Amino acid sequence: MAKFDHNINLPRIFARNRLAILPISRGDYIISHFEAYQPFPSVDTSVTRVSLPPNLQSLSTSHIPSEAIAVNCALASGMLADFLEEETLYATVSGRMGSGQFDFTIRNLRTQYSTEVAVSNSQIEIDAALEGVHSLSLLEAKRDLAEDFLVRQLYYPFRVWDGRVTKKVRPIFLVYSNGIFSLYEYEFQDPNAYNSLVLVKHKNYSIEDTAIGVAALHDVAERTQLVQEPEIPFPQANSFERVINICELLSAQELSREQVTEEYAFDIRQTNYYTDAARYLGLVEKRYEEGRRLVYSLSSRGKRIMQLSYQQRQLAFCEAILQHRIFRETFKLYMENGSLPDQNTIVSIMQQSGLYQIGSMSTFVRRSSTVSGWLNWMLGLIGEEH
């Protein structure tokens, strides 16, 4: 009941009163106006290419279904050695363990003062610990994209092992999505202060070739046939990366609407928006089970796309987008002018595209951000060419 990995997952009464919950022992929790979450910062999007050893047969770039396998790929490819600047790394402690005893201070959002918290044998979990000559790195691995994270997932393991080893303890976040491994290193500037963490390093890696040129996008636009607008509300889902991430979650298993909301950094409203966006593109299907239980699964098209290599997968997503007139016409204007059209122009194209269930001008304006958001994602692919 106390697993709220992202601020948006908090119960409504918590969110309304700016409350958060932290474990202090096995089965005991403290609830207060804690500043428990930290936003992910905007970072460089460049990607460094690495490779798996050619003799490995049990790891595949096309099948990374879990955090554990993502960590194994990151270790085997050498990206962790590069990021941590440790020539040799040994996998050591991982899994669930007791926290022992420690005290810390955490900022109170209401008073802006610090509150003292005492922890005694709470349960912690470490996805992976990698020890080198100079440091011990504690990894928290995720396969879902989010706007923030629960600092406790880094802080509690840090406090436990900072008191047990003499080497530097380095809290590391690894986020794997759509073929990209994003590594974040944090540092607690005051080990006794929960809110003292700062980002000290970030880098993106890929095991696959990520180079995509503008000519490839132009070719997709030229060969793609327009489709009739589906009877699905035009998307209100600005982040296409998160549409892809929904497909990744569903490639492992079917999920109910409630499970998508729990697994992902969403509320129910956002779950509806982003699953509808994936349905709009023909990537996801929904059905009702046992009367009213709503279940999502990948469509045959979605399954096929998720099996492709990185480059071909991105181009297939671009094709799914450019099948719709609003995106095709807006992309053509970019190709002609070298920049995306302004909001008024996008809205004008939307009004001529026969979009389903958009009546008011205010709705056109709101949904226009989806058009610019998805096309900016497409154009961001060009920047990965190297």
pLDDT for 8-20, tens place per residue? 888 889 989 999 9
Chain CA centroid to CA 13, Å: 26
- How confident is the model over 270-310, as pLDDT tens digits? 899 999 999 999 999 999 887 778 999 999 999 999 999 99
Buried b (16+ CB within 10 A) or exposed e, 59-92: beeeebeebebbbbbbbbbebbbebbebeebeee
- By the 10 Å C-beta count (0-12 exposed, 13-18 middle, 19+ buried), 290 is classed as exposed
- Can you tell me the distance from the alpha carbon of 338 to that of 382, in angstroms, rounded to the nearest whole number? 13
Whether residue 52 is predicted with pLDDT greater than 60 in this model: the reply is: yes
- How confident is the model over 189-235, as pLDDT tens digits? 999 999 999 999 999 999 998 889 999 999 999 999 999 999 999 99
Other C-beta atoms lying within 10 Å of the C-beta of residue 217: 22
Other C-beta atoms lying within 10 Å of the C-beta of residue 139: 25
CA torsion through residues 231, 237, 240, 246, sign = negative
Confidence bin at 2 (pLDDT 50/70/90): low
Q: Are 5 and 265 in contact (CB under 8 A)?
A: yes
- Can you tell me the distance from the alpha carbon of 230 to that of 353, in angstroms, rounded to the nearest whole number? 12
The owner of tokens 């119960």 is 11
Q: Residue 63 has what DSSP assignment?
A: B
Beta partners for residue 116, in sequence order: 105
The residue-averaged pLDDT of 148-158 equals: 96
- Can you tell me the distance from the alpha carbon of 227 to that of 167, in angstroms, rounded to the nearest whole number? 59
Q: What six digits make up the tokens of 62? A: 């096309």
Q: Are 165 and 136 in contact (CB under 8 A)?
A: yes
The owner of tokens 């070719």 is 219
Amino acid symbol at 332: K
Q: Which helix (H) or strand (E) holds 131?
A: strand 128-131
Q: Beta-strand (E) ranges in 40-167? A: 47-49, 90-91, 95-98, 101-107, 114-120, 123-126, 128-131, 135-142, 148-150
Q: What six digits make up the tokens of 171? A: 């809290």
Q: Are 206 and 50 in contact (CB under 8 A)?
A: yes
- Can you tell me the distance from the alpha carbon of 158 to that of 99, in angstroms, rounded to the nearest whole number? 10
Q: Does domain 214-382 have CATH number 1.10.10.10?
A: yes
Q: Which helix (H) or strand (E) holds 298?
A: strand 293-298
Region for residue 85 given its phi and psi (left: phi exceeds 0; alpha: psi -120 to 50; beta: otherwise): left
CA distances from 118 to 29, 99, 105, 190, 221 (A): 11, 11, 9, 16, 59
The owner of tokens 């802080």 is 155
Whether residue 76 is predicted with pLDDT greater than 50 in this model: the reply is: yes
pLDDT for res 67: 92
Give the SS3 label for residue 128. Answer: strand
Task: Please name the residues in contact with 109: beta carbons below 8 A apart, sequence gap of 6 or more.
Answer: 18, 33, 34, 35
Identify the weakest region by mean pLDDT among 25-29, 44-48, 152-156, 186-190.
44-48
pLDDT for res 6: 86
Region for residue 112 given its phi and psi (left: phi exceeds 0; alpha: psi -120 to 50; beta: otherwise): left
| Closest by Cα among 31, 48, 67, 348 to 205 | 48
The residue extents of the domains of the chain are 7-206, 214-382
Chain CA centroid to CA 327, Å: 24
